[in-house]
Amino acid sequence: MGFNTFGTIFQVTTFGESHGPAIGAVIDGCPAGLPISLEEINRELRSRRPGHNPLTSPRNESDLCQILSGLFEGKTTGAPITLLIENKDADSSQYESIKHLLRPGHANFSYLEKYGIFDYRGGGRASARETAARVAAGAIAKALLTVEGIEICAYVTELGGVRGERPDWGNLGELKTRVQVSPVFCPDPKAAILMIQEIETVKEEGDSVGGIIEAVALHLPAGLGDPIYGKLEANLAAAMLSIPASKGFEIGAGFASARMKGSEHNDPFALDSEGRVITSTNFAGGTLGGISTGQPLYFQVPFKPTSSIKKRQMSVDLNQEVSPFQLPLQGRHDPCIAIRAVPVVEAMLALVLADALLANRLSKLKFSTV
């Protein structure tokens, strides 16, 4: 199985399965001298981990990260950074009764067709459990963004058909606090209440709902991204669509752009109070020609309803016989996977931007005047 590495310069390779002994990541290409806090990595992991929110899976993983290499006296050495997260609450017995069935909405069928083998215990490598490793790696990337003065934030903007108001990005620190205190990671408190009610309803019904996550990056320098096939939004789309259960990517005005006129969608150039070039609107979402403009970068990612539901469904078994399918009553699954995908979206955004920042150092010569 190839393609477990993401990035060009700031490269991340994840490893491990849902019910294996551990998952983790190896980061290569991180510059030396970057201060890293293990507590900050674990704080990011707490946002994603199951078992501490009644609206998510009851699987209770501590998700404490160990750093096995690449760090000395609290700073990166330039060597590969190995991050390890142990699986401590896996219960493979819940999958014994359904291991011979193709789980609707899951990767059993496609993995079996491609590889001839599939780890049915929680979905193996296809499980969203793998994203914990991405969040840990994303914390390292965020440390690099912090040094560059770049701020990012992701949040739920729609869930189960309930749409929240787009928040003010003027104070990202306050926005992040509002996101973190919300059980559904939604900064709009009124919408969050309705979202919670929707989740509780479908949970009682044994069903699930989907959601949309929005993310924003502020204080980006102009010039990130590489045409033709390394456009910033193209790399972001690849990153977001690699997340389990994601089903799309929309930057700026996105699909609404198709319903606008050029005179409406074009972002007129202007000068700010300090004489810097800006755009008076930002329908493009912070890029032009695949390169960042320095304006806020923002996009949305839709996530499908969780495939693991308790309602009875029809399926096919490994002998190609039609058979009813129903999850064990003790199964542990999220009624809405979009909630715990918020820190994953944020992590993948950080990884893309960290890679773009390092690549941008190679874009033009800078001659010494000495």
- Enumerate domains of the chain plus CATH numbers: 5-360 (3.60.150.10)
Rg (CA), the chain: 21
Tell me, what's the pLDDT at 95? 84
Phi then psi for 151, rounded to 5 degrees?
-115, 140
Tell me, what's the pLDDT at 367? 64
Residues 6 or more apart whose CB falls under 8 angstroms from that of 197 comprise none
What's the pTM value of the predicted model, to 2 decimals? 0.95
What's the residue count for the chain?
370
Tell me, what's the pLDDT at 49? 82
Distances in Å between the alpha carbon of 154 and those of 167, 203, 345?
11, 25, 7
Tell me, what's the pLDDT at 253? 98
User: Which stretches of the chain drop beneath a pLDDT of 50?
Assistant: none
pLDDT one-digit tens code per residue, 50-109: 656 778 776 667 899 999 999 999 999 999 999 999 998 777 787 888 999 999 999 999
DSSP H or E run through 28: strand 22-28
Angstrom distance (rounded) from CA 350 to CA 365: 26
Tell me which DSSP letter residue 30 carries: P
Nearest-CA neighbor of 132 among 265, 283, 243? Answer: 243
Tell me, what's the pLDDT at 160? 96
